[in-house]
Each structure stands twice: as C-alpha cells, then as structure tokens.
Amino acid sequence: MKLAKNLERLGTESAFKILADAKKLESEGRKIIHLSLGQPDFKSPDHVVKATKKALDDGHHGYVLPNGIIECREAVTRKIKKLYNSDIDPERVIIMPGGKPTMYYAITLFGEPGAEIIYPDPGFPIYESMINYTGAKAVPINMLESNDFSINPEKILSLINNNTRLLILNNPNNPTGAFTDKNKIDQLAEGLKKFPHVAILSDEIYSRQIFDEKKMPTFFNYPELYDRLIVLDGWSKAYSMTGWRLGWSVWPESLIEHVIKFCVNNHSCVNAAIQYGAIAALDGPDDTINLMMEKFTKRRKLIYEGLNDIKGIECVMPGGGFYAFPKVIGTGMNGKEFAKKCLHDAGVAIVPGTAFGKKATDYVRFSFAASQDNISKALENIKKIIE
Ligand code: PLP
C-alpha cells in the first residue's frame, strides 16, 4: 500500500494515548486517579437524556439537514442572544458532531502550501496537527507564563502578514486554564480591523467555565468582524456531554455553502434524536452548569494550593476551563519525565506539556474534572514521590 504523503504531517491528541496507558495499568490491577482527560465528571442533565429518549420514541430516526435541524439552530441563536445579546441568523449556525469538526473544516478551508495560520502554543493539539496536514505554515503564538499564559494582542497582530489566512484563538484556554479579559480582546478585535484578509476562529468551548464571576469576552461582541468570524462552541464541556459528540459553530455567510459541502461529504448530518436533547440543554435550566462551577471552584483552589505546596512545582491560578498547567522543572524532571513518574509511581494520570506544544517541556497539565477526594489523594501521592 502506498499512503498519502501528507499523513506523515498529521498529529494526534496524546491525552487519549495516556488514557490507554492508564487503562492498561488498571487492567493489571493498579489503582489510577485520572486527571488527564478533558471531560467534566458529571452525568449529562436528566432533562437532556429525557428529551433525546422522547425524540427516539417519536420516531426521529432518519437523516436530517446536514447543517442541523432548524429547531436546534434556532435554539443556538436564542442562547447566543440570552448570553451575549447578539443577534445571529440561524442560517449561519451549523450543528456538528462535536467541537472538533469545526476546527477541521475551518483549517481545511484556509490551509494549503503558501498559506499561514496562527495558533496558540501551547494549545489544543489538533490546531497544529491540522494546519500541518494541509501543508500551510503553522505560526505559533507563544503563550507565556510571564503573561499568565493570556492573549497578548500586540504580539498576535505582529505575526500577521500577507500570507496569513486564519487566526485561531482559544479563550479560556486548554491546556493552560488561562482566561483573557475583555479589555485585551477588545484591543485585538480593534487591531484585526486593519487585516481584513484574516479570518478568525474563536474556540469558545470553555465559555461556560469561567471563574470569579467574570463574563465571557466572546467574539460575538464584534459584529464588524462577522463576515470573517467563526465561533466554535458546543455541549461537550458546558453540559458534560463529551460522549454525545455534539457541537455548534457560527460561520460567515460566505462560507456556509462550503462548510455544508464538507458536512455532506463527511458525516451527512448529526444524529437526529440527539439534536432534540441539544435543544433541551440550551433552553432548559442552567442548574448543572452552576453546580459544576461550584465544584470546579473548590477543586481549583485545592489543586492550585496543593501543587504550589509541592517542592519544585509552580502553578498559576487557572482563570477558566478545568485545567491547571504547572511548571515542574524545579523537581529535577521535565514534564514528560514527571508525567511518567506520576503515572507509574503515584498512580496519577496527567498529560505532559509537550502534548500541547513542543516548547512546553517544563510543564504538565492536570485536569481537575475529578472529585475533591481524588484530587487530594493525587496531590498526596505526588508529594510523597517528589519530596
Ligand atoms: N476545543 C478545545 C480547546 C478543546 O479542549 C476541546 C476538547 O477537549 C475541543 C475543542 C473539542 O471538543 P469536542 O469534544 O466537542 O469535540
């Protein structure tokens, strides 16, 4: 078999590999605390499950529109209006099988040899993987700890040139847990007006997981950018629905026909019944989100204080999402060595920083989507093996 050359440039998401390693150890009888995967440890809301079951009972078993049923797209626009007071035409909304397909399609729409795409580094690994796959030049934004890993508008604008086609942003950020406030996003949006040839992909999948009562600085705040703005969001993180494979994105009108073609070529449409559950999630009460945030707030404090209490580890306070991204080089190990030791000697699965960018050698990512008991036990085990 002769495989396509560009396959050599396709990366992956190593959190899944770590999960497999941890599961293997568990099958051998080891007890492992899982702090590696980015998924809330809560059940999906009961009213969502109920609405989906009803849709199945009602006979929603067939193909539906590739961009999603209109009721679901309208529910997305209602939620955008309620959260951000922005008016979005449901024809610009596409229901996707998860958040990932939006990045896949957006990057494929713009990426080719000669094109440049700017992305956060460290950042969600699929951005760089997909940019490389298309043959475009991947231009990293170095997210620095000295800047609390937050977005620096001037630095980003300085990376733009005539070949830049797409700028990818992720706020709150995976893996760093950084939150960039509206002031800086305003500055960036203002600066982007000077570069009308650059499309923006704003990955806002953690928009409902922000601490300290802060508001989501969404790109929906800038209608002047709508003709080149793609916003990615979805149900996975907000409603603890990662396994449902459900996401939504809003696209510029001019791209809709291309994206629908991708949907038709690739997945035809999103599972019909699940889209009714999706509507129930958006229109229903936000109790599960509030409960989740109450728990995440306690866990954030626990992990932040616990990590900083271990000799050689320094951790910035996460501002959003459910990740802590400490520097561990002070323990005498780099992130990869540290994560390996944690898994094998402390029974704690975490992800080395290099899974999110080559330069993040000194860091590891902890997901605090786990019970307080498990987080405390994990910190205790790690402290024991390090000190
Ligand atoms: N964007 C970011 C920044 C993420 O961290 C993730 C998942 O971890 C996604 C998108 C993808 O979400 P989904 O599981 O809905 O595909």
What is the residue with the minimal CA distance to atom 8 of ligand 1?
Answer: 38
Whether ligand 1 lies within 6 angstroms of the CB of 124 is answered as: yes
Euclidean distance between CA atoms 301 and 211, whole angstroms: 11
What is the residue with the minimal CA distance to atom 9 of ligand 1?
Answer: 99
Residue 340: what pLDDT?
Answer: 95
Q: Where are the beta strands (DSSP E) in the chain?
A: 33-34, 93-96, 116-121, 137-142, 164-170, 199-203, 229-234, 247-250, 323-324, 348-349, 351-352, 364-367
Whether ligand 1 lies within 6 angstroms of the CB of 242 is answered as: yes
Residue 16: what pLDDT?
Answer: 84
Per the listing, tokens 């990045």 go with 103
What is the residue with the minimal CA distance to atom 11 of ligand 1?
Answer: 99
Residue 203 φ then ψ, to 5°: -85, 105
Atom of ligand 1 at shortest range from CA of 124? 3
Ligand 1 centroid–CA 383 distance in Å is: 30
Question: Given ligand 1 and candidates 100, 130, 168, 241, which is best to mutate, with the most ligand atoms within 8 Å of its CB?
Answer: 100
Q: Are 199 and 166 in contact (CB under 8 A)?
A: yes
Residue 13: what pLDDT?
Answer: 86
Whether ligand 1 lies within 6 angstroms of the CB of 249 is answered as: no
Residue 387: count other Cβ atoms within 10 Å of its Cβ.
10
Q: What is the pLDDT along the chain (387 residues), one digit of tens a residue?
A: 999 999 999 998 888 889 899 999 999 999 999 999 899 999 999 999 999 999 999 999 999 999 999 999 999 999 999 999 999 999 999 999 999 999 999 999 999 999 999 999 999 999 999 999 999 999 999 998 888 899 999 999 999 999 999 999 999 999 999 999 999 999 999 999 999 999 999 999 999 999 999 999 999 999 999 999 999 999 999 999 999 999 999 999 999 999 999 999 999 999 999 999 999 999 999 999 999 999 999 999 999 999 999 999 999 999 999 999 999 999 999 999 999 999 999 999 999 999 999 999 999 999 999 999 999 999 999 999 998
Whether ligand 1 lies within 6 angstroms of the CB of 98 is answered as: yes
Whether ligand 1 lies within 6 angstroms of the CB of 120 is answered as: no
Write the DSSP assignment of 6-25 as a string of letters: GGGG----THHHHHHHHHHH
pTM for the model = 0.97
Residue 206: what pLDDT?
Answer: 98
Write the DSSP assignment of 53-81 as a string of letters: HHHHHTT--S---TT--HHHHHHHHHHHH
Residue 31: what pLDDT?
Answer: 95
Residue 14: what pLDDT?
Answer: 84
Q: Are 232 and 102 in contact (CB under 8 A)?
A: yes
3-class DSSP state for residue 264?
helix
Residue 346: what pLDDT?
Answer: 97
Residue 387: what pLDDT?
Answer: 86
What is the residue with the minimal CA distance to atom 10 of ligand 1?
Answer: 99
Ligand 1 centroid–CA 300 distance in Å is: 20
Whether ligand 1 lies within 6 angstroms of the CB of 170 is answered as: yes
Whether ligand 1 lies within 6 angstroms of the CB of 38 is answered as: yes
Say which amino acid occupies 122. P
CA angle 342, 300, 329 (to 5 degrees): 40
Euclidean distance between CA atoms 193 and 187, whole angstroms: 10
For the chain, how many helices (H) and strands (E)? Answer: 12, 12
Whether ligand 1 lies within 6 angstroms of the CB of 134 is answered as: no
Ligand 1 centroid–CA 309 distance in Å is: 30
Residue 15: what pLDDT?
Answer: 82
Euclidean distance between CA atoms 301 and 103, whole angstroms: 32
Whether ligand 1 lies within 6 angstroms of the CB of 234 is answered as: yes
Which DSSP state fits 346? Answer: I
Q: Are 325 and 353 in contact (CB under 8 A)?
A: yes
Question: Given ligand 1 and candidates 16, 124, 235, which is best to mutate, with the most ligand atoms within 8 Å of its CB?
Answer: 124
Structure tokens at 79: 């939620």
- Sheet harboring 364-367: ordered strands across? 323-324, 364-367, 351-352
Structure tokens at 34: 């899982």
Atom of ligand 1 at shortest range from CA of 245? 15
Report which of 125, 202, 194, 115 is spatially closest to residue 154, judged by C-alpha positions: 194
Residue 1: count other Cβ atoms within 10 Å of its Cβ.
2
Residue 147: what pLDDT?
Answer: 87
Residue 37: what pLDDT?
Answer: 87
Euclidean distance between CA atoms 307 and 365, whole angstroms: 12
Structure tokens at 346: 């402390």
What is the residue with the minimal CA distance to atom 7 of ligand 1?
Answer: 38
Whether ligand 1 lies within 6 angstroms of the CB of 180 is answered as: no
Ligand 1 centroid–CA 100 distance in Å is: 6
Give Rg (Cα) of the chain.
21
Residue 231 φ then ψ, to 5°: -115, 125
Dihedral angle over CA of 338, 339, 345, 348, nearest 10: 140
Residue 220: what pLDDT?
Answer: 98
Whether ligand 1 lies within 6 angstroms of the CB of 174 is answered as: yes
Ligand 1 centroid–CA 84 distance in Å is: 21
